[in-house]
Amino acid sequence: MAVMTYREALNDALREEMQRDPDVFLMGEEVAQYDGAYKVSKGLLAEFGDRRVVDSPISELGFGGLCVGAAMAGLRPVVEFMTFNFAFLAIDQVINSAAKMLYMSDGQFPIPIVFRGPTGAALQLSAQHSQACETYYAHAPGVKLVTPATPADAKGLLKAAIRDNDPVAFMEGELLYNFKGEVPDDDDFVIPLGVAELKREGGDVSIITHGKMVHVALQAANKLAKDGIDADVLDLRSIRPLDVDAILRTVKKTNRAVYVEEGWAFVGVGAQIVATIQEEAFDHLDAPVVRVTQADVPMPYAKNLEIMAKPSADRVVDACNKVLYR
């Protein structure tokens, strides 16, 4: 096992897949000469040249659409959005073109394309740059949605996403790029999409989450352990496809569940998870499922207000105590 940062794991995945398949190419703002806004594409231009690592204009709609066309022609584009907040400008190409093309062409045009970049809040980037964008993309059939929380997951899931023949929205945690962790040395290390992972095992309460919030959930679980409460922490890793079996297993084991997400509560990912648990495991619940989310406001710029708006380990602990009737 090698220890590397989240960004290095993504870089490894891109390099290995570009070496493996000459049809894979990367396009986005500053991905070539500047090595990427977050240095995820560092060194790729020198190795693969400017026909496979392509700097784009500041036009997400334009280069997003160009890459959808490239996928229709048989290539395997990886589109880097500097942030998924900017990808709203290209959502027409993702949802109306990439997601629907296979269906509308009666199977003639698979779209093997990855739309990747950071999502969620960083530190004082204010309302327009701090949104957790999962719900917008998870809502539409035809797009797969992946949210890795660790360097190992980042590498294994990105390789799987690039090899997939469907469009994949690959959302990276903006504050995770420097996060370090162990990654298998195998250059063919691939994690299948749609398979959740139990990041921590316990029997008293299930904390279900995805993306950057996995780390908040683990912090909360450590706090709960000091009070003698053992929490399962289930990392979904993929929102679409969703590992329903893993969700039901942990709920049936602990009989209590808390869902944690960085986005807003209204029509959020957690609403789907709660509905799934209610439909499939209602008789196993000893308490209503509780959600921990961002406050229902645009993200404030002021640091003290930003901290209050974000989900925290203490809020997760409070939610777990609530479902445990403590």
Task: Identify whether the C-beta of residue 205 lies closer than 8 Å to the C-beta of residue 221.
Answer: no
Catalytic site includes residue 262: no
Cβ neighbours for 46, distance < 8 A, ≥ 6 positions apart: none
Per-residue buried b or exposed e for 283-316, using 16+ beta carbons within 10 Å of the residue's own CB: eebeeebbbbbbeeeebbeeeeebeebbbbbebb
- Alpha carbons 271 and 287: distance in angstroms, whole number: 16
Helix runs in the chain, H state only = 6-20, 44-48, 60-72, 91, 99-104, 134-138, 151-163, 213-225, 244-254, 269-281, 303-309, 313-323
Residue 134 is a catalytic residue: no
Beta bridge partners of 80: 28, 116
CA 298 to the chain's CA centroid:
21
Q: Of the listed 8, 16, 17, 60, which one is catalytic?
A: 60
Instruction: List residues with catalytic annotation.
Output: 60, 129
